[in-house]
Structure 1
Amino acid sequence: MIPSKVGRFRIYLFVFLYLTVTLSGTENNTESSVSFKDFLVSVRTEEDGMIKTRVTVAGTMTESIFEKVFLKKLVAAQPLPGFRRMKGGKTRDIPKDIALHIIGPSKVKKETIKNIIGFTIAEYVQKEGFNASKNLKVLQSYEELEAAFEPGKEFCFNATLYLQ
């Protein structure tokens, strides 16, 4: 049985990511990786009370969080011109691209990026059992993150955690 193109792509992507993580670990002994279901956290350096990380989020997770944020913004939005609300406040049959344009893609992306960063870092801290402070520094600017973010595509960011 020959796997489909999508299946082969996933296998190739997995092998590529595995080799990338393995080879990068041999070059730099201070780097380690922690894998989760939909994202990977690579620890660059651990200094006194500070951990520098690189988080790589899978496209499936970016898509699902984007959809949740989009639906939340759509429900909370004022009635959209040209579209009636159904009973119960539901807005049906609105093309996604039109609704996104009216709501504002920048607002949805900003909220999605915040949710992704918060969720991934919280999961990492919880899994590792760190006693981290609330201070989290993302090394890229918001404009860089927004330009790099595309729902359904892989998303990466660098962050610094401060331990207590």
Structure 2
Amino acid sequence: MEVIQVGNPLVGLNLEPLQRSVPRQKTNLLARVLQAQRRCVALRMKNNVQLASTSSSRKVCIAFCSFSTEVETLTKSTTKFKDFEVLVEVGQSKQINIKVYVSGARTQENFDEVFTKLVDAAQPIPGFRRVKGGKTPGIPKDVLLQIIGPSKVNKEAIMKVINSTIAEYVEKEGLDVSHDLRVLQNYEELEAAFMPGKEFSFEVTIKLNENRNIRK
């Protein structure tokens, strides 16, 4: 599996939304899952149960391989939002593996926002009659899409979906994350799976700041 670093110009994710200060009273997800994990590990030691090697565990190991050479015990949790759902796997390190399932309503909303912004930036549209202010109203949407470029619109829409959902999740959970956020799919996979108005999923890893204590 190819891993896209956040700084890769192919995706160009904006990390600014992830650097939000969060009130101390928010409960940190990692504290909760690590507590549950300790109970899970104790139970497994008692019953002498060995963790089976599966394709999914190998996939998770790839996401964590930059920080550990051993397969870690993972604790899973799910967080639901208005128009997306987050499945989280946390091991003993401070890295969190996240899969996000986004609703069709959210993908359409983000696509429309990006499309409108790009149309405004492209004004006046060459070859069409302009009105006062330099804009060219009344052009069919499909024509505008071809002028701007479907790939360009999709690329920025995908970036917006990823940035906005991860930022919302991080803020809700009160996580203090570093810049080390990675998208696990390559851009071709993301683009092939993305269609405005349809459900969309992606996987990322985020890492908590090493020098920060867990907020209680």
TM range (shorter): 0.7 to 0.9
Deviations 1:108-146 (A, max 9, x none): 111111111111111111000010112210000011101
Matched, 1:113 2:165: no
2:121 match: 76
| SS of residue paired to 1:88 | coil
Which structure 2 residues correspond to residues 43-58 of structure 1 after superposition, within 5 A? 43-58=88-103
Equivalent pairs, count: 137
Matched, 1:97 2:142: yes
Cα deviation, residue 37, structure 1: 0.6
Which structure 2 residue ranges, 5 or more long, are not aligned? 1-72, 210-216
| SS of residue paired to 1:83 | coil
Deviating 4+ runs (over 4 angstroms):
none
Which structure 1 residue ranges, 5 or more long, are not aligned? 1-27
| SS of residue paired to 2:128 | coil
Cα deviation, residue 148, structure 1: 0.5
Which structure 2 residues correspond to residues 137-152 of structure 1 after superposition, within 5 A? 137-152=182-197
TM-score by length of 2: 0.60
Deviations 1:13-54 (A, max 9, x none): xxxxxxxxxxxxxxx972210001111000033341100010
Identity of aligned residues (%): 56
1:18 match: none
| SS of residue paired to 2:85 | strand
1:52 maps to a residue whose letter is N
**Bigger helix fraction:** 1
Question: Structure 2: how far apart are the matches of 1:141 and 1:93?
Answer: 37
Query: RMSD across aligned C-alpha pairs, in angstroms?
Result: 1.6
| SS of residue paired to 2:75 | coil
| SS of residue paired to 2:178 | strand
Cα deviation, residue 96, structure 1: 0.6
Cα deviation, residue 70, structure 1: 0.3
Larger radius of gyration: 2
